[in-house]
Structure 1
Amino acid sequence: MSGGKSLAETPITALKGVGDKFAQVLGKLHIATVQDLLFHLPLRYQDRTRVVPIAALAPGMDAVIEGEVRAADVVFGRRRSLLVKLQDNTGTLSLRFFHFTAAQKNRFARGVRIRCYGEARRGAAGLELYHPETEIVGAETSDRPDTLTPVYPLTEGVSQTRLRSLVQQALAMLEHGVTELLPTDALPSTLRYPLAGALQYLHAPPAGADLEQMAEGQHPAQQRLALEELLAHHLSLLELRRSHSAVAAPPLPGDASLERDFLARLPFSLTGAQRRVCAEIAADLEQSRPMMRLLQGDVGAGKTLVAALAALRAMSAGAQVAVMAPTEILAEQHRRNFCGWLEPLGIGVAQITGSLKASERRRQLAAVESGEAQLVVGTHALFQADVSFRNLALVIIDEQHRFGVRQRLELREKGAADGVSGRLQPHQLIMTATPIPRTLAMSAFADLDCSVIDELPPGRQPINTVAISGERRDRVMERVQGAVAEARQAYWVCTLIEDSETLQAQAAETTASELAEALDGVRIALVHGRLKPDEKERVMNAFKAGEVDLLVATTVIEVGVDVPNASLMIIENPERLGLAQLHQLRGRVGRGSIASHCVLLYGTPLSRNGRARLQALRQHSDGFAIAEEDLRLRGPGEILGTRQTGEIEHRVADLQRDAHLLPQVQRIAASAALTEDIRRQLIARWLQNRPRYAEA
C-alpha cells in the first residue's frame, strides 16, 4: 500500500488477484475498496477446526470427518450417483456425488484415507454427506484451520474460496488503518472493543468461539459493529431530514373561518387526540420548509378527518392536495369521504385511478392541470407522466408501507409551483393504521416527525375476539345465521399462503358456495382481487346498503371498508397472517355502537408461533401493543414492508435484537464529538454511498 492511504481509500484492485474485470464483479457486492471488503461480514461460520467422529454425527450437522474408504461404486437409482463408503473407528458413513468424473471415482480407492467436510443428511442407508469437499490425507495434507471458516454473502462470479482468500489479504493490512471514527468515551463501557480487533474476530473467530452466541449476534465484537452501523443509518436519516429542511415549501397559514364552517357541519366533535395532532400539523404547514410527518392511528381513530383538515388548510391558501391510497377500494372510500366533507364548501374533488375510461381520465386530468380540482384522490396512477398539477403543495399518503419508496419520491417530484428561489417542495403527511413500534420508529423513521392519534372516538365498542378450531366450523356458521336473524351483517375472510390472486379467488368462491348451501335465507356476496374494480365497487356498495348479509372476501377488505352495521368478522386460517394484518381486518367491525365479535377460525395443528400470535390478538386491542408483539414474533422487515422496498438492509445490526442500542445511538448522534467529517465517513463506510430513499 503506497503513500500511507487508509484502507477506505485503497482500491480493491490493490489486492493480489483482483483486476479491473473482477473488481466490477465485486462491485455488485458494493465492494470498491479494501475497507468495503473488511465490512462485508460473514453470514455464518463453519467449524472445520476439529474432526467429528462418525458416530457423533446428527442430521443437519456441518462437520469435518476423517476416515478410510471401504468402497466406491456407481449406483443407479432415480439418478446415477457415486456412492463412497467411509469408515472411522466409530462407524461408517456414505458420501454421495451426483456430478463426478472417472478420475474422481478413481481417487476413492479402497484403503485411501480422506478428510471431508459437508452437511450430514438422512439417506437410504443411514447418514450421508452430499457433494462434500474432500482431500486425501497424506504427507502434503494441509493442517486443519485454527479459526472458524466464514461463509460470506456472494454474487455470481465470486466463490467462497476466492472471497476468503481476498479477506485474508485484507486482514493482513488491518494494521495500516481502518480508522476508529467513534471516540472511545462516546462508547458504552461494555462496547469499547477496538474496531480492528472486532473485524479480525468476526472474519476469523478462534477455534472454540461460542457459535451460539455469535449466531444470536451477542458477541461484543458484533455489538460494537452493530452500534456503529445503527449510528450510520441514523445519521443518514438525519442527513435526509436536513436536506428536506434545506429546500423551501409554500407556507400554508390556513383560513380559520373555513375550518370553523367545516367542523360545524360534522355530526360529532373531534377527540382530544385529533385536536392535538391537527395542531401539530398546522404548526408544520405554517413553515416554509416541507412538513415530513408520520401520522399513526389505530383502525377507526379518525386519521382521514385529520387529513381532511390538513388538506383544507392547503386549499384555503389556493394550493392543490394529492391523496394517494394503495388500492382502488380505499381510494374510492377516501373520495367519498372528502366529497361529503368538502363539496358543500365549494371545493372540487377529482379521482385518478388505473380503471378510469379514457374519456373520463382526460376530463379528470384537465381538471387537475387547470386547478379546477383542488383535491385529487388516487392510487399509484397519480404519479404517471401524464398527471400534471397546477400547484401541488401537500401530498397525503395512506398506508405508506404499501408503496415502493421510489413511487413516493416520484409523486413528491411533481412539486409545487416554482418559487422565487427555485422549485418548492410539497409538504408530506404519511398515514398508517399499522402502528409502528417505538423502537422501529426511532431507527426507520428518524427523518420524520411522528404524531399518534391514541384515542378512539366515543361510543366505539370493544371487539370480543375468540379463537375456534376449524373442526367446529358448524358452530361458527350458526353464529352467522344468528347475527343475520338479528339484522346484523358479517364478513367471512378467506386466507391462503399462496401469493396468487387466482388461487385466493378460487378459495373464496368455494367458501361462498359452501356457505350458500349451509346458511338458509342469508344473502351472500363475494369480493376478491380478481374482480374488476367496478364489480368490486358494486358488491361493496350493496353490502354497505344492507342488501347483502354476509360478505365473503379475501384480504382485499383489510383497508378501506366502513360498514357500521357489520358486527361479526370470521377470519379463516388466521395463523397464516401477521398480527398487524389480523388487527386491521378485525378493525372492519366495531365501527358502530353495536357489540362486535371477531372469530379466528384456525387450522389444526397450530404451531407454537401461531398460537402465540392468536393469543396476542385476543389479549390486546391496542394496535401498538400488537405491533410490539408482531415485531417480536416476525421481525422488522415484515412490519415495515421493507421486503418489497429494501429500505432496511443491515449487515450486522438487527433492529429487533439491538433495540437496546438505539438510545445510545441517539445520544452519540447528538454528541459534539461527532464532527461533520466523521458523520460523512460513517455513512460512507456502512451505506457505501448507496442511494438511500429511507421513507422519502
Structure 2
Amino acid sequence: MSVAADDAGMQPVAALPGVGPALAALLQKLGLEHVQDLWFHLPLRYEDRTRVTAIADLRPGQSAQVVGTVEAVERGFRYRPQLKVAVGDDSRQGLQLRFFHFNRAQAEQLAPGARLLCFGEVRQAAQGLEMVHPQYRRLGADEAVVVEDRLTPVYPTTEGLGQKRLAGVIAKALALLPPESALELVPHELCAAHGLASLREALLTVHRPTPDARLDLLLHGRHPAQQRLAFEELLTQHLSLKRMRAAMQRRKSPSLATAGTLRRRLLESLPFSLTAAQRRVDEEVRRDLAQTKPMLRLVQGDVGSGKTVVAALAALAAVESGCQVALMAPTELLAEQHLRNFRHWLAPLGVDVEWLAGKQQGKARQAAMQRVAEGAPVTVGTHALMQEGVEFARLGLVIVDEQHRFGVQQRLALHDKGADHARGEVAHQLVLTATPIPRTLAMSAYADLDVSAIDELPPGRTPVQTVAVSNARRAEVIERIRVACAEGRQAYWVCTLIEESEQLRAQAAEVAHAELTAALDDCKVGLIHGRLKPKDKQAVMDAFKAGELAVLVATTVIEVGVDVPNASLMVIENSERLGLAQLHQLRGRVGRGAVASNCVLLYQPPLGQLARERLAVMRETNDGFRIAEKDLELRGPGEVLGTRQTGQLSFRIADLSRDAHLLPAVQQVGERLLADHPREADRLIARWIGGAARYARA
C-alpha cells in the first residue's frame, strides 16, 4: 500500500461528507474509526431485491420481494395486539402480512386497495403463506416498480444506526478506495504463486455484488471474492499469533532442568504406569522446561487421558529448581479436584500445596496470600490467583486448565505476575484442555503454542455405551436407575437449561431431585448445583464418591474434573440443547472404572436436524478427537473454542471450518512475510486487527 493509499485509508471517518460527531460516535461503537475500517466492514449476508416474485411462486423459507394490493385488514388483540394484512397479485394467490408492533398511522396506510412493495422471509402459517414484519413501501396506483440493480448487503450494525445510513457511509468510503497496486499488501510474487485474486475487485464485489453474482456462493461465504478476503484475514491472524510467540520467546525464563529426584519418587508412588502417550508428552514438556526461553505448550487430551499427572511432573521440575508453580482452573469444583490430586501426590514428597479461591475471605485468605508471597511451592486456585494483592516470590511455571474459558485479560494478568523483573524472567506456560481441538483449528487458533496430544486412554477403561431416548420413556429410564443402584452401581442425572441464570438452573435441578427422590424411595439421591456454597458442594461430592449417595442430580457444574470410578450410568436431560463437546465432557464422568458404563441422552421430540446429527455422533463414537472434528463441522470454530467471550477469533469473513483448505497456503505466505516483508506484515495486522492487536500478548 502506497503512502497515498495509507493517507486515504487512515483518514478519520469524520473526514467523510455527512459524518458529524453523532454519527462518528455510532461508528466508533462498531470499531470504525478510520476510512479503511469501513472498507473492511463486511456484510453479514445479502438480500436479493433485484427482482419481484409472483406470490404463486413463493416458497417457505425464502426471502423475496413481492408487489401486491391490500385485499383485507384485520386488527386483533388476542394475547397481544396484531395487525393482519391480506395482499394479492395478478397470480391470483394470497399472502398474509403480520405485524405485532405498529401504530395507528401505519394501520391506516395499509388500507384495502393500497398497493405495496414488500420484502421479507416467507413462512408457512396455518392459513397459508405469510411474512412477519416485512419491510414495505406504499406505491402509487400507476407507479412503476423500480428494483435494485445489485444484491443488497446487510451489515453488522449497532442501535441507532440503520442499514441504509451505514451503507451510505460505506459507499462514500469505497469512493476513496485506491488503485490495486496501492491497496495490496501481499507482495506480487506471493499473490501470483498462490493464485490470489485482486483485493480491490474482491472488496467491491463483496460490498456491491452484481445481479448475476452467484447468490448461493455469497450466502455461504464461498464466492471467490469472499475467499480472497478470508485468506487475508486468516493470514493476519496467523501473523499476529506468530508475532506474539516471537515476542514471548525473546524473553527469558528460568531453566527448570533438574536431577529429577522428586519426579522419580512420584512415579514410583503411583499405582499405575504412564501410558506411551503420557510419556511422550511428558518428555516434550521436560525438554521445553530445560530451555531458558519460555515454554508455550498446549497439552490436549481426551476426558480421563491423564493430563493432570503430566502437569504434576512439570510442577515438580519447577519446585526442584527453586521456583513456584501456579495452577489455575475456571471453576472452584475443578480447582478443588486439582487441589486434592496435587496434595495426594505431592504432600508425601514434602511439597506443600496452597489453595487460593474467590470465596476465601478474611484471615484465611490473608494467611494464604502471605505464604504465596513468601515462596509457597505450589498454589492451586481459580481466577483469584490473578487478583491484585496476590504476589509470588519467584513464579517459574503457570499451568492453565481449560484455557478457553478464561478471557484474554485474565491470562495476561497471571502471565504478568510470573514476571521476575529483577532477573528479566517470565514464567513457563503449560495449557491443558480436555476439549480435543481439531488439527486445522489448532494450526490457526493456537499458532502461538506448541501442541501436544495425549491420544491414548489408560488401560482398563471401558467404552461407554450411549443411547438416545425420548422423554416420553422417562419412567423406563428411572426404572433403569433403580436396577443399577440395586446392583451397587451409582448414577448421575444431569439437568441442562439454555438459560444463563444460575437460579433457573438450580430450580430445574431441584425439581428433578424431588421427582427422583419420590420415584426411587430405596435409593439415596443427592443434589449439586452452582448456587450451593463451596463447602456444601464438596460435602455432596465427597458423599457421592464415598458411595453414601446412589444418585447425584447435578447441573452441568460437573462437566469437568469429577472422578467417581463406581459411577457407571449417566442420564442427560434435554440433551438436544447441548453441543457435542459438552455432551462428550459430561459422558466422560462415567466409564472410569472396570464395569461397563452407559449414557442415556434424554431428548424432547421433535428433534431438529442439527440435534439429530449430534446425538447420532454421540451414539457412534467415544473418540474425543473425532467428536471435535464433527463439532467443528456442525457448529463452527467460535463455539468449539468457546471464544465468543475471550476476544479471540472474532472473524469478520473467515470461517475456520469452511476455509480450512486455505490454511496451508496461509502458513506459507505468513512465513515469507515475516522473514522477508515484516513492514507489510505489520500493516496487515493494523488493517484487520487494529486496536485489538494489544491483546496479542495473551
Provide the TM-score with structure 2 as the length reference: 0.91
Bigger Cα displacement from structure 2, 548-557 vs 163-172: 163-172
User: Given the alignment of the two structures, is residue 250 of structure 1 paired with residue 251 of structure 2, yes or no?
Assistant: no
Deviation string 1:625-671 (CA, Å, 9 cap, x unpaired) is: 11111111222122111122231111111111111111111111122
Amino acid in the other structure paired with 1:459: G
- Correspondence for 1:504: 505
Asked if the contact 1:405/1:693 (under 8 Å) is kept, the reply is yes
User: Given the alignment of the two structures, is residue 388 of structure 1 paired with residue 391 of structure 2, yes or no?
Assistant: yes
Q: Determine which of 327, 330, 342 is the counterpart of 2:331.
A: 327
- Correspondence for 1:52: 53
- Correspondence for 2:695: 693
Deviation string 1:407-443 (CA, Å, 9 cap, x unpaired) is: 11111111243334xx421111110111111111111
Q: 1:87 to 1:560 in 2, by over 3 A?
A: closer
Q: 1:5 to 1:137 in 2, by over 3 A?
A: farther
Which runs of structure 2 are paired with 1:422-437 in the superposition (5 Å)?
Answer: 423-437=424-438
Q: Distance in 2 between matches of 1:5 and 1:585?
A: 51
Deviation string 1:535-583 (CA, Å, 9 cap, x unpaired) is: 1111111111122222222211111221222222222232222111121
Gaps of 5+ in 2: none
Q: Distance in 2 between matches of 1:147 and 1:303?
A: 55
Amino acid in the other structure paired with 1:338: F
Q: 1:474 to 1:71 in 2, by over 3 A?
A: closer
Q: Distance in 2 between matches of 1:81 and 1:536?
A: 49
Asked if the contact 1:647/1:694 (under 8 Å) is kept, the reply is no
Q: 1:256 to 1:206 in 2, by over 3 A?
A: same
Q: CA deviation at 1:140?
A: 9.2
Q: Distance in 2 between matches of 1:657 and 1:485?
A: 49
Amino acid in the other structure paired with 2:159: E
Gaps of 5+ in 1: none
Which runs of structure 2 are paired with 1:471-510 in the superposition (5 Å)?
Answer: 471-510=472-511
Amino acid in the other structure paired with 2:688: W
Bigger Cα displacement from structure 2, 119-128 vs 572-581: 119-128
Deviation string 1:510-556 (CA, Å, 9 cap, x unpaired) is: 32233233335322222121211111111111111122222222211
Q: CA deviation at 1:284?
A: 1.3
Q: Distance in 2 between matches of 1:631 and 1:165?
A: 36
- Correspondence for 2:177: 174
Which runs of structure 2 are paired with 1:90-129 in the superposition (5 Å)?
Answer: 90-91=91-92, 115-119=117-121, 127=130
The secondary structure found in structure 1 opposite 2:693 is coil
Bigger Cα displacement from structure 2, 466-475 vs 564-573: 466-475
Asked if the contact 2:569/2:599 (under 8 Å) is kept, the reply is yes
Asked if the contact 2:122/2:129 (under 8 Å) is kept, the reply is no
Q: CA deviation at 1:289?
A: 1.9
Asked if the contact 1:322/1:376 (under 8 Å) is kept, the reply is yes
User: Given the alignment of the two structures, is residue 202 of structure 1 paired with residue 206 of structure 2, yes or no?
Assistant: yes
Amino acid in the other structure paired with 1:511: A
Q: Distance in 2 between matches of 1:523 and 1:105?
A: 62
Q: CA deviation at 1:83?
A: 7.6
Q: 1:471 to 1:206 in 2, by over 3 A?
A: same
Q: 1:313 to 1:144 in 2, by over 3 A?
A: same
Q: CA deviation at 1:593?
A: 2.4
Q: Distance in 2 between matches of 1:611 and 1:105?
A: 43
Provide the TM-score with structure 1 as the length reference: 0.91
Q: CA deviation at 1:258?
A: 2.5
Q: 1:507 to 1:289 in 2, by over 3 A?
A: same
Q: Determine which of 677, 680, 696 is the counterpart of 1:678.
A: 680
User: Given the alignment of the two structures, is residue 281 of structure 1 paired with residue 285 of structure 2, yes or no?
Assistant: yes
Aligned-residue Cα RMSD (Å) equals 3.0
Q: Distance in 2 between matches of 1:36 and 1:547?
A: 61
Q: 1:389 to 1:136 in 2, by over 3 A?
A: same
Which runs of structure 2 are paired with 1:610-625 in the superposition (5 Å)?
Answer: 610-625=611-626
Which runs of structure 2 are paired with 1:463-478 in the superposition (5 Å)?
Answer: 463-478=464-479
Q: CA deviation at 1:364?
A: 1.3
The secondary structure found in structure 2 opposite 1:419 is coil
The secondary structure found in structure 2 opposite 1:547 is coil
Asked if the contact 1:647/1:692 (under 8 Å) is kept, the reply is no
Q: Distance in 2 between matches of 1:104 and 1:235?
A: 53
Count how many residue pairs are aligned between Structure 1 and Structure 2.
693
Q: CA deviation at 1:466?
A: 2.7
The secondary structure found in structure 2 opposite 1:365 is helix
Q: 1:87 to 1:583 in 2, by over 3 A?
A: closer
Bigger Cα displacement from structure 2, 116-125 vs 607-616: 116-125
Deviation string 1:91-135 (CA, Å, 9 cap, x unpaired) is: 465667777888878877987766454455669896457463425
Q: Distance in 2 between matches of 1:499 and 1:195?
A: 42
Q: Distance in 1 between matches of 2:479 and 2:81?
A: 58
Q: 1:68 to 1:415 in 2, by over 3 A?
A: same
Q: 1:7 to 1:140 in 2, by over 3 A?
A: farther
Q: Distance in 2 between matches of 1:268 and 1:366?
A: 36
Q: Determine which of 403, 407, 414 is the counterpart of 1:404.
A: 407
Q: 1:476 to 1:233 in 2, by over 3 A?
A: same
Q: Distance in 1 between matches of 2:565 and 2:83?
A: 68
Asked if the contact 2:445/2:649 (under 8 Å) is kept, the reply is yes
Q: 1:280 to 1:176 in 2, by over 3 A?
A: same
- Correspondence for 2:316: 312
Q: 1:542 to 1:50 in 2, by over 3 A?
A: same
Q: Distance in 1 between matches of 2:582 and 2:277?
A: 24
Q: 1:500 to 1:168 in 2, by over 3 A?
A: closer
Q: 1:146 to 1:345 in 2, by over 3 A?
A: same
Q: Determine which of 358, 362, 365 is the counterpart of 1:354.
A: 358
- Correspondence for 1:343: 347
Asked if the contact 2:637/2:656 (under 8 Å) is kept, the reply is yes
Q: Distance in 2 between matches of 1:106 and 1:550?
A: 62
Q: Distance in 2 between matches of 1:271 and 1:552?
A: 33
Amino acid in the other structure paired with 1:382: L
Amino acid in the other structure paired with 1:321: V
Q: Distance in 1 between matches of 2:557 and 2:112?
A: 64
- Correspondence for 1:414: 417
- Correspondence for 2:456: 455
Q: 1:416 to 1:485 in 2, by over 3 A?
A: same
- Correspondence for 1:569: 570
- Correspondence for 1:578: 579
The secondary structure found in structure 1 opposite 2:393 is coil
Which runs of structure 2 are paired with 1:575-654 in the superposition (5 Å)?
Answer: 575-654=576-655
Q: Distance in 2 between matches of 1:433 and 1:387?
A: 28
Deviation string 1:598-644 (CA, Å, 9 cap, x unpaired) is: 22233333333222212211221211111111111222122111122
The secondary structure found in structure 1 opposite 2:460 is coil
The secondary structure found in structure 2 opposite 1:228 is helix
- Correspondence for 2:17: 16
